[in-house]
Amino acid sequence: MKKSKQLVIVVLTVLAVSISFGALYPEADAQEVTSVSSLEKTLSVTGMATTSVEPDILTVRFGIEIQEPTAQQALEKNSEMMNKVILVLQSAGIAESEISTSSLDIYPVYEYVNDEFLGIQTSDLVGYKVSNILSVETEKLDLAANIIDHGVETGVNRIDSVSYTLSPQKQLDLKDDLLEQAIENAKSKAGKALAPLDHSVIGVKSVSLSEFGMPYPQPVFRGGFAESKAMLSPTPVFSSEQDVTTSVQVVFLIGSN
């Protein structure tokens, strides 16, 4: 009976030792995987690319602002004058498809009077103002001066802005070219940084692309009224190059030489 108890104790001891070793093996495997991952060496680099390009789209926003005693009179007179402006623009070489309405607003105009006797301020409706703004968007950049001058001569008394920008197709072409240049720039930076350290690039872990850095439309004139003497004279308008930028973030795998 005593021998049986000793045999049971021996068996239980062997099982306990086996379980302990079994629990250790998964941990050893995990440590081995972790150690391999921790040996991975990386270098994060930002690549940049910039180019200067000539814009290919001209946008002119101008129109007529007029006040009349009634809303109907203001709308009718404004429409009549604006139709003349459109005809003049078309005769200057602007296609109908290049002209659109940017905004059309109508609102009452009040005259405020202080009543000294009553000590209050009263208002009287004196008319309605209609503001009709056209947007001319064209690839004919050399017509900028003609558009403004013909518009002013025909009755335009409000010029909101004259600006230059890039067409969607030109933006797409530039984006493809600059992306390749930015990646080459990142690769060059990595090589120069690693050379003194006796390391080199052995692979790529990840690449992150930034948004395409398009400049805002370049204004050459903004705000004011066409009735000023400066706008009644011949109007020289010139475009200039715009800087376009893009960037990439590349994480390189590196190793010693």
pLDDT in tens, 27-40: 444 344 444 455 78
Q: What is the dihedral of CA 184, 185, 191, 194, to 10 degrees?
A: -140
Mean pLDDT, range 62-73, rounded to an integer? 96
DSSP-assigned letter for residue 229: H
Taking phi over 0 as left and psi of -120 to 50 as alpha, with beta for the rest, 16 belongs to alpha
Percent of the chain scoring above 70 in pLDDT: 74
Q: 57-165+218-237 belongs to which CATH class?
A: alpha beta
The pTM of the full predicted model, rounded to 2 decimals, is: 0.64
pLDDT tens digits along 234-248: 555 666 778 888 899
Cross-strand partners of 155: none
Is the sign of the CA dihedral 70, 71, 75, 76 positive or negative?
Answer: negative
Where in the chain are the domains?
57-165+218-237
E runs forming strands in 12-119? 42-53, 57-68, 99-115
Residue, of 88 and 27, whose pLDDT is higher: 88
Mean pLDDT, range 160-178, rounded to an integer? 87
